Structure 1
Amino acid sequence: MAGPDVLSQSEIDELLSALSTGVVTAEEIKTEEKQRKIKIYDFKRPDKFSKDQIRTLYMLHENFARLLNTYLSAHLRTLIHIDVASVDQLTYEEFIRSMPNPSVISIFQMRPLKGNAILEINPNIVLAIIDRLFGGPGLPPAKPRSLTDIEEAIIRKVINKAMENMQDAWKQVVAIEPRMEALETNPQFTQIVPPNDMVVLITLQAKIGQAEGLMNICIPYLVLEPIMSKLTTTFWVSAATAKQASPETVNVLKRKIERTLIPFIVELGRATVTVHELLDLGVGDVLQLETKAENDLSLMIGSREKFKCKPGIIANRNAVQITQVISQGDDNNE
């Protein structure tokens, strides 16, 4: 999951060995870096994402991490901590090789964008979530294992909610509708793009109770290509500014709300009958209501009593006269 500029473990070992044996010194390395400021470019894995686009994706998924953190904290009622650890670009083959087996791999679409993306969650995190939902303390398992059918059904609901949080996080840049297509446990069964295609990998560090692990979001370049121009901090700022409420927008919304139709019901009265009495009802039977003739009637707005009124007739049409306004339950009185 490391980027092209990160040393491999063998290169780090060779460098440490050279320093310890005195073949090279730290001063020589610094002098060489000053003399040669050349970045090696690998044509087999060209950079598809600029630094600005990587920064924008980082900001997007910081927002996603906050939303997911809020949801899981309320849903699991335990200590949750989710942060963006890194955003890298690499080949799809490198991403597949980095995933553990078994794992929990959700393949999802980002409509209207074409193609699929992946949300991979470490089994420790998934099993801790399931343990917490089943009433346990949320402890990580002794060793990773595959999910049972019941556990898979439970985690699908959690992932679907995570998709909603991702939709909310992305809406400031582009409106997407993430939808889960499949849930896999073997990385070899998740070939969504050719192995050498470039992808962007967003790694989230998750801690749920005593369980720790990584959550990886892998989005191929081909999926994001149509919106690459929007993945910039400039577009991010301009979109946020454009969405600020203006007086004209508020007035338009107010006019639309004033024209909204709502149910307006006058309740003449209520009666309580047994099931036996209900079955015996027939044409001509009379039900005695609990409301007396001199009592005011209840005027319902939706399912809430809002006014008291008296019945009457105006111009040969049934009508009511408002006698009392019931303010209980209004925002001003809560």
Structure 2
Amino acid sequence: MEILTQAEIDALIASLMAEQEGQPQETKKEERPQPPRRVRTYDFRRPDKFSKDQLRSIQVIHEGFARLLTTFYTATFRTVVQLVVGSVDQMTYSEFIRSVSNPSVICPFTLSPLQGTCVLDINPVVAFPMIDRLLGGPGTALPRVRELTDIEQTVIMRVIRGTLEAYREAWSNLVELSPAPGGIETNPIFVQVAAPNEIVVTVAIDVRVGEHVGVITLCLPYLTLEPVIPKLTTRTWFGTRTVQEQPEGRAALARRISGAVVPLTVQLGTAELTIRELLDLQVGDLIVLDRRVDEELTVYVGNQPKFRARPGQRSGRLAVRLTGLVPKGEPEDDA
């Protein structure tokens, strides 16, 4: 084995250094420029607790809730009601409280067996028309928003209980919950169900009751939903819905509409009069209708012709006996 002397070692090192000094440009060519780092602002006061996939699952659940609520509200208020999920966001609880109008209709509620308390907020713009409809009115809004009276709180609590029952059904495909309402508050400052900096998810549902448009908002704290968060994935949700939702959804819808009240009327016949004949009508005048005595009558469900019937009486009251169905697409006059 050949051993180098110190002079030979120094000469070798010097030659290597000379080669490096003689090729500075080639060394630079081999170095690839690094792309600039992307820096994203992160607010430690508002950490994101819910992923986009989880927020999407929450939106799907509440879209089903809006459909159930549409059926319940339409049957309860006997007027056209439309509900659409407007937004699903995560924010701090203090930000949610600042977004609630004062006064408003605010109801804290629990979701047993989950821990903690959630919040249901019904905007007064639609809350007062709801109350007016339940009290027999046309569903008009107040010219000036005010706090609810004791009677109005009792009336709106009926709406809240039905709303939470629909909320239970909306979650039933994923987890069995038992919503229970608390008292009604009108000032959001007095509703302290979570720490100001706690992360919550808020679901805003746009509501139209007749001609009045408002918002129903649900506030769900992260700590309350934490036990079910692993289930809040689109794969779990859509898989569960494929197996269970269709039969259970139909059964739930049947339960909802079974209590709906619909008008049923029977048309005895029609007649055409001139304006002069109409003005000359007096008590005791006879109006001849366009139907014969032995002809069947048409029974209407709502404003749709559904049945054929013959008139009669029972127990001293006028009555009709159904004799058949009105074929689909048949003109109403073809009795």
**Common fold: TM-score over 0.5:** yes
Q: Which amino acid aligns with 1:146?
A: E
Match of 1:71 in 2: 72
Kindly indicate whether the alpha-carbon contact (under 8 Å) linking 1:140 and 1:210 is maintained by their aligned counterparts in 2: no
Q: Distance in 2 between matches of 1:241 and 1:211?
A: 36
Distance 2:243 2:213 in 1: 39
Instruction: Give 2:124's aligned residue.
Output: 123
**Which residues in structure 2 correspond to 1:206-221 (within 5 Å)?**
206-221=207-222
**TM-score, normalisation: structure 1:** 0.61
Identity percentage over the alignment? 46
TM-score (norm 2): 0.61
Which residue in the other structure is 2:158 paired with? 157
1-side partners of 2:166 and 2:68: how far apart?
Answer: 6
Secondary structure in 2 matching 1:60: helix
Give the equivalent residue in structure 1 for 2:169.
168
In the TM superposition, what whole-angstrom CA distance separates every residue of 1:11-52 from its partner, at most 9, and x where no partner exists? xxxxxxxxxxxxxxxxxxxxxxxx996532111100000000
- Taking the aligned partners of 1:39 and 1:185, their CA distance within structure 2 comes to 40
List per-residue Cα deviations over 1:212-243 (Å, max 9, x = no partner): 11111000000001111011111112222443
- Residue 223 (structure 2) aligns with: 222
Q: Which runs of 5+ in 1 are unaligned?
A: 1-34, 247-334
**CA distance in structure 2 between the partners assigned to 1:169 and 1:206 by the alignment:** 17
Q: Map of 1:78-227 to 2, 5 A cutoff?
A: 78-227=79-228
Counterpart AA for 1:66: R
Separation of aligned partners in 1, 2:164 and 2:245: 25
Cα-Cα RMSD: 1.7
CA distance in 2: counterparts of 1:163 and 1:113, whole angstroms: 15
Instruction: Assess if the C-alpha contact under 8 Å between 2:173 and 2:245 holds in 1.
Output: no
CA distance in structure 1 between the partners assigned to 2:140 and 2:207 by the alignment:
14
Larger radius of gyration: 2
Give structure 1 regions of 4+ aligned residues with deviation exceeding 4 angstroms.
Answer: 35-38
1:111 counterpart letter in structure 2: S
Distance change >3 Å, CA 244–CA 181, structure 1 → 2: closer
Q: Distance in 2 between matches of 1:38 and 1:141?
A: 51
Residue type of the alignment partner of 2:64: N
- Residues 237, 103 of structure 1: alpha-carbon distance in 2 compared, 3 angstrom cutoff: same
Counterpart-to-counterpart distance in 2, 1:93 and 1:45: 11
Are 1:61 and 2:62 counterparts?
A: yes
Which SS does the other structure have where 2:182 is aligned?
A: strand
Structure 2 unaligned spans of 5+: 1-35, 248-335
